[in-house]
Structure 1
Amino acid sequence: MPPLSPASPSPSPSVPSRDSVVAALRAAGCVFAEDEAELILTAARTTEELTALVERRVTGLPLELVLGWAEFRGLRIAVVPGVFVPRRRTEFLVAEALAHAPGAAVVVDLCCGSGAVGAALAAALDRPEVYAADLDPVAVRCARDNLADAGGRVYAGDLFDALPDTLRGRVDVLAANVPYVPSDEVALLPSEARDHEPLVALDGGADGLDVLRRVAAEAPHWLAPGGCVLVETSERQAPAAVDAFTRAGLTTRLAVSEELYAQVVTGVKR
C-alpha cells in the first residue's frame, strides 16, 4: 500500500494525515475511500492503531470487520471475523416485518448471524420477547452480545431444531435471513463476502432456495394466528420463493424496494 505520510503541517510528524489514509484506501480499490477514511480515523485511538486498521483494510478485510461494527437501522451492530456482516438491503425485511406486525410480542431471528435483525426489531417494538438461532457458533456468540440489552435468547442449532418447543404457535414475527446464493455462484461473489464470511451463511444449495423451502414448510407450526414469516431473496428467485410459501398454506406477498435492490417474501398464517 502507499506509505502513510505525515500531515503537513501537523502537530506531530508521526501522525498520518487524512489525505494519506485516503490515498492508501483508494490505491487498494476502496470505492468510498473518503468515507472509509473518516470512519477509520475516528476509530483509531493511537497512530499505531490507525496504521494497523488501514493495513487490515487495504489487504481486503471488510470495513465492518476492521471497525468491529456495522450500522443497521441506526444501530451499531458488533461484528467479528467469521460472522456474516448485515447488509443495508436487509433493513427492508425489518421494515416489512414492522409494517405487518407493529405490535409483535414474540420475535424470532432465524439464521441470525450477528443478530442484527433481532436487535433492530427489539429496538422498534415495545419490549418483545426476542429469540434467535444460528448453526454457526461464531454467529451465536456475536448475536448473544448484540441481543443482550434486549434480553434476547440465542440458540445454536439447525433452524427450528434450535428453538424451544414452548415457542410453537406463539411467534408473531419470524424473520429468516436465509442463505440464497446458488452453490455454483458463490465463487462469483465479491471477495469480501467469499473470503471472509462463512459459507453456511451464503450457500443456498443448487438453486439457492434449499433453506428457504425448509423455513417455509416448518414456519406455520411456529407462527401464532396472523403471525408472519419473512425471507429475503433475489428478483430471479422471487417467483419460486412465493410458490414455496403458498404451498405451505401461507397467505403470501412479495414486496420490492427499488432503492435497496431488495426483495422480501412475507407469508402470513391464516
Structure 2
Amino acid sequence: MISVDLRAITQPVGIMRIMAALLTCMCFSLVATVGHVSSPYWAWCMFTWCFCFFFTLLILILEFTTVNAKLPFAWDDFTAAFAMLASLMCLCASIIYPTFFTCKTCHRQIGASVVSWVCFGVYAGEVALTRLRPSGQNSGFLSTLSGIMKMLETFLACLIFMSLETGQYSGSPGLQWCVAVYSLCFIFSILIILLSIGQLISYLPFSFDKLVIVYNILAAVMYITAMVIWPLYSLHNRKRPSDCGPLCPWDKLVMVTFMTILNAIVYTLDTVYSIRLVFCVSNQ
C-alpha cells in the first residue's frame, strides 16, 4: 500500500527541496525565453537546471508517497549523493552562464544567473543537513570521503567532455589517448558508484575494496599521463588568437587542460585515501 508522508514536505530538508525545484524551474524557464544558443556550455547549464529540477521533484514525490521505502537501494545515500552532485552542477552553471551569456542589458540572463546562485545555496544547505547525522548512524558509500571523490571525478570528467570537440583530437594519437583515458575512467567510476548504491558489492566473488584500489592506481597513472600529453600536444606553440571570442576553441583546450590537472589530483588523493583505509585503518 502507498501512503502519504507529510513530513517529506514539512521538514527542513523537504522545504529546501521544494525551494530547489522552484528555483531550478525558474532558471531554465528564464533562459528558455531568451532563446537557444548553439554552445555546449549553454547546453550544459540548461541540462543542469532541468536535471536538478526533475530529480528533486522525483525525490519529493517518492518520499511523499513513501515509495522510496520500497526501492532496492540505499535511499538516504542516494539523496545525499544527489544533493552533493546538484550543488556542484549548480555552482558550475552559476559560473559558466554569466561568464559567457550575460551582458549589462541582458536582464533575464542576469536574473537566471542570480537564481542559479541562490539554488546552489539551497542545495549546499541540503548537503549540510543530510551530512549532520546523529552519532553512530551509518552512512552509505556516497556520503563518505571515497564516495564524494568518486562523484567529483565523474563531475570533472563531464566538464571535460563538454569542452571536447572532435576536431581537437581526431588527427593526433596522443590526444586520442587522452580522450580514451577520460572515457574509460568515467565509465568505471560510474560503475563503482552504481554497484555501491545498488548494494551489489556483497555478490561479487572478489574483494571489491582491493579492486577499487587497483583501479584508482591505474586511473591516477593514466590521468597523470594525460595531464602531460594533452597540453603538450594541444597547446604547444599555439597562442590565443587575437580575434578569439568568449567561446573560442582555444579556451576550450585550456579548460580541458585545467580539468585534467584537477582530476589527476583527485584520483591521486583517492588512491592514497583508499590504500590507507584498506591496509592501515582496517588492520588496526
TM-score when normalising by structure 2: 0.29
* Higher RCO structure, 1 or 2 (CA under 8 Å, sep 6+): 2
Name the one with the larger strand percent: 1
Compare the two structures and name the one with the higher helix fraction: 2
The two structures have a TM-score, normalised by structure 1, of 0.30
